[in-house]
Chains A and B, each alone.
Chain A
Amino acid sequence: MTVTTDRQERVREGLGSSVKRPDGVPKVDGSFAFSSDLHADGMVWGHILRSPHPHARIRSVDIGPALAVPGVHAVLTADDVPGDKNFGLEHADQPVFAHDVVMHIGEAVAAVAADHPDTARRAARSIVVDYEVLEPLVDAEAAITAAPIHRDGNVFADLVIRHGDPSVEGEVVVEGTYEVGMQDQAFMGPESGLAIPDGEGGVDLHMSTQWLHVDRDQVANCLGLGHDKVRMTLAGVGGAFGAREDVSMQVHLCLLALHTGRPVKMVFSREESFLGHVHRHPARMHYRHHANRDGRLVKVEARIVLDGGAYASTSRPVLVNACCFAAGPYDVPNALVEGWAVRTNNPSCGAMRGFGAVQVCFAHEAQMDKLAAALEMDPVALRLQNAMKTGDRLITGQLIAGTAPVAALIETCSAAPLPAEDPDPDPMGLPGGAGRTADRARVRRGVGFALGFKNLMYSAGFDDYSTARVRLEDGVATVTCAAAEVGQGFVTLAQQIVREVLEVDEVVLAAPETATIGSAGSTSASRQTWMSGGAVERAALAVRARLDAGEQEPIEETYEHHHPPTSPLDADGQGDAHVSYIFAAHRAVVDVDLDLGLVRVVEIATSQDVGRVLNPMQVVGQIEGGIAQGVGLAVMEEIVLDGGVVRNASFTDYLIPTALDMPDVQIVALIEEPEPGAPFGAKGVGETPTISSSAAVAAAVRDATGLELPRIPIRPQDISLAQR
């Protein structure tokens, strides 16, 4: 990419301006190579056979019929896995292929490679698996004490946080039990990849993922190969939102490639995508809030149970987050939080945008509204009175040392003008739209407010780092970094940073791959702006220093950027587990048809903590897109489970917001208080737009209906059939 040498133009392409994406042109003209667009000469197609049962013993697998199908090149089962039989991000408990038992619907049992994708599908269907169907354990609460369904037990993690004096009581107490359904990340580009054997026992894997190096390590372990024999290159990623953090088809693709000696491509159908990746943890949460009559919070008690599904994935850190942020962004002097993340025969759960903070936000914000009602206070005023600020302590005892502009978020967001009510709305603009037009006379408007927060980057003792290399040659800077671009715009930011530091016009981004550079960590936890942005900045600064000292090009520097160390929580859930926090406020306006139970989200107003805006257009994109996923969780999106069976694994049945469902977004304020220690003072903004938008919409629907609505997504029948 070339820009002009004009100084003003260069500043425009530096930090703080709405620089356009370097991958934008190929993405609009259709030439950008997503992982599903890859092709290699002589390639064959892979397909995975999946379990139709949530829990069953495998008596036998007969692959003979599949091998007999013309065009089939390989049929593999658990017996064909040469290395570790299991993989996992934190704990290797997920089998490459089920052996002995299947633990969830859609679990991989066998894989086929064939010369046509339909041949592979038909051959997989011909495999005869003899299952002894077992009773599935699907109740997360029951799983805590139920007989173990897995040799590693039913509890992935449990945690207690005792803060201050957990025995004190407030003058006013409110309580409630809240539930959050299972949300899917529903990225647009299904899992896909291409594995190419190198002819020397190794394999090159081109894959859409969030963290190349951790995939590479898991794949190599399962293949029984040295890590240098598996080389991963990032293929174009069609969205991620957490669902690509775990390994999906990576091992299967490489196994098929090594067995056939041919390149193997695989693309999940939408149904397979729903069955083949982790989801947001469903949660059941019981809360008790204590306050004095003047509105001051005294204590928060919470009991949180997360359904982790069949395998561990990231259930443990999701639970840590849910518990750490359980009380919300408020100054809470005393707390008692108990949490469990458990194993069931439901689909596995793991990372999704907000990572544990979304579920508890729905509960703590419902509690704050309930408390305001009990105190006869304005809910916004109650939040302002208790707002967290720099110098306060989290319920883990950790000092909030960085910026925490919570009061400013509340004040700006709540003061934004409300949208006018249209006296003569187009039927398309009523709840339900054109198809199920609401009765205008029965439509009620509601307004709700919510605050949310979470940590940036990895926590609780994890050595989180990113690596970047900057090479300056002939006036062109080349950045090598394995950070996964999943749509968020790290590629834009990396160019902006290097232009800013080196004042060069042309910044080339090398392909992210494992063979040429160390790990960049995961594109998750709102961490790449800080971690990989920081690595790129420091590598560029080192190049700059040598340039300024009179050295001649080429100059190359590599930097490994670690964030300050954190500690695990102790037995009382106390400790300095986090580096930094980000906050947001959302105000939702909804129209609800009381009879049909239909909700139209009219507008979301938001104020967002950002540290510093590095690319305004990209920040707006993160906020609007994150709000869409929050709105979806509030009123539309849920993986419907029936005894562990997924009932809606398609976009016909799992509904995500369309352009007609999406409200107007009013970005009221981007609060720029540079975060000490953060590169450029910037905080990653990816997750907070999702965290409190769901809670705000739920509050608005409560305001419109007068119902308690303790569960999201709010379904039409929760309103239309409710006893008033």
Chain B
Amino acid sequence: MSETATFRLNVNGEQRVVEGAWVGESLLYVLRERLGLPGAKNACEQGECGSCSVLLDGTLVCACLVMCASAAEQDVVTVEGLPEQKGELTDVQCAFLDEGAVQCGFCTPGLVVTVHDLLERNAAPTELELREAISGNLCRCTGYGRILAAAQAVVAGRSGSGRSQREPSA
């Protein structure tokens, strides 16, 4: 590996130094393989599946599409760095568990980051807005029903109106 670079990233509020990385490495590769943060997943390496969703300077991105060296000095938030609200989990993470939104779990960290980002920007999305917002995150196990239920439970919880509007019909 001839072309290498050393630079700094601000990851989950911590200054991290990336040393001697090949300049072609993606932000996803560096997070996973150099910084010990495996929460963002690689499922398609071309920005189609959303499994690697992270926040880069507050914007939701697919980490597989960001050349890491170009993210130098920027703020990165991964699933590992989401603000805890209930003990060790966020309300979104708790809702995913409570509503049955997790099966194999490979898409889950990306979806958790995406739902957090959506609800920061739109506290009361309609169902279509919700579907649109998570349509960049592929899930092959759940059919999305329980994921939508989890997001709606968070909306209800944050607005103080109690339970999800989307109960399983069984």
Contact = CB atoms under 8 A, between A and B. Distances in A.
A29 interface: yes
Interface string A626-658: 111100000000000000000000111000111
A377 B105 CA distance: 46
B128 to A, nearest CB: 5
A24 B102 contact: yes
A658 B138 contact: yes
A187 interface: yes
Contact of B102 (A21, A31, A189, A267): A21
Contact of A659 (B93, B96, B131): B131
Interface stretch (A130-138, A549-557, A565-573, A660-668): A660-668
A116 interface: yes
B107 interface: yes
B167 to A, nearest CB: 10
A668 B169 CA distance: 7
Contacts of B104: 187-189, 237-240, 486-487
Contact of A428 (B41, B132, B146): B132
Given A28-B108, A118-B24, A616-B168, A651 B48 contact: yes
A616 B105 CA distance: 19
A239 B140 contact: yes
A21 B100 CA distance: 8
Interface string A595-639: 000000000000000000100111111011111110000000000
B170 A670 contact: yes
A666 B38 contact: no
A88 interface: no
A186 interface: yes
Interface of B: 1, 22, 24-25, 32, 37-46, 48-49, 51, 78-80, 88-89, 93, 96-100, 102-109, 112, 128, 130-132, 134-148, 168-170
A272 to B, nearest CB: 10
CB-based closest 8 A-B pairs: A30-B39, A487-B104, A27-B105, A238-B106, A624-B143, A628-B143, A651-B48, A487-B103
Q: Which of A118, A486, A487, A616 lies at the interface centre, i.e. has the most chain B CB atoms within 10 A of its CB?
A: A487
A660 B103 contact: no
Contact of A116 (B22, B44, B88, B170): B22
A33 B38 CA distance: 8
B44 A651 contact: yes
A350 to B, nearest CB: 18
A668 B40 CA distance: 37
Given A118-B22, A488-B103, A620-B146, A29 B42 contact: no
Nearest to B80: A30
A656 B170 contact: no
B139 A37 contact: no
Contacts of A187: 104, 106, 140
A27 B169 CA distance: 25
Nearest to B134: A659
Nearest to A115: B1
20 contacts: A24-B97, A24-B105, A28-B96, A29-B93, A31-B39, A34-B41, A34-B106, A188-B41, A270-B46, A429-B128, A487-B141, A621-B103, A623-B170, A628-B140, A650-B44, A651-B48, A652-B46, A658-B134, A658-B136, A666-B169
A352 to B, nearest CB: 12
Contact of B80 (A20, A29, A269, A626): A29
A618 B100 contact: yes
A656 B39 contact: no
A36 B131 contact: no
B84 to A, nearest CB: 9
B103 A625 contact: yes
Given A28-B108, A428-B131, 18 more contacts: A20-B98, A24-B102, A37-B38, A189-B106, A270-B45, A434-B132, A617-B100, A620-B146, A623-B170, A624-B145, A627-B143, A628-B142, A628-B143, A651-B48, A652-B44, A652-B46, A658-B134, A665-B143
Given A29-B80, A118-B22, A428-B128, A665 B145 contact: yes
Nearest to A662: B144
A97 interface: no
B80 to A, nearest CB: 5
- Assign chain A's interface to a size class: 35 or more
Nearest to A632: B140
Contact of B93 (A28, A236, A428): A28
Contact of B46 (A621, A650, A667, A670): A650
B60 to A, nearest CB: 15
A243 B106 CA distance: 16
B79 A29 contact: yes
B38 A18 contact: no
A658 B135 contact: yes
Contacts of B22: 116, 118
B143 A27 contact: no
Contacts of A18: 100
A31 B39 CA distance: 6
B55 to A, nearest CB: 14
Contacts of B37: 30
Interface string A197-238: 000000000000000000000000000000000000000111
Contacts of A429: 128
B145 A23 contact: no
Contacts of B48: 650-652
A651 B46 contact: yes
A71 interface: yes
Nearest to A629: B140
Contacts of A462: none
Nearest to A661: B135
Q: Which of B24, B89, B98, B142 lies at the interface centre, i.e. has the most chain A CB atoms within 10 A of its CB?
A: B142
Contact of B43 (A119, A238, A434, A621): A238
A190 interface: yes
Nearest to A116: B1
A241 B100 contact: no
A6 interface: no
Contacts of B112: 28
A373 interface: no
A30 B148 contact: no
A406 B118 CA distance: 43
A118 B88 contact: no
Given A29-B79, A624-B142, A267 B105 contact: no
Q: Which of B106, B131, B138 lies at the interface centre, i.e. has the most chain A CB atoms within 10 A of its CB?
A: B106
A521 interface: no
Given A20-B97, A624-B142, A625-B142, A188 B106 contact: yes
Given A619-B170, A627-B143, A651-B138, A30 B97 contact: no
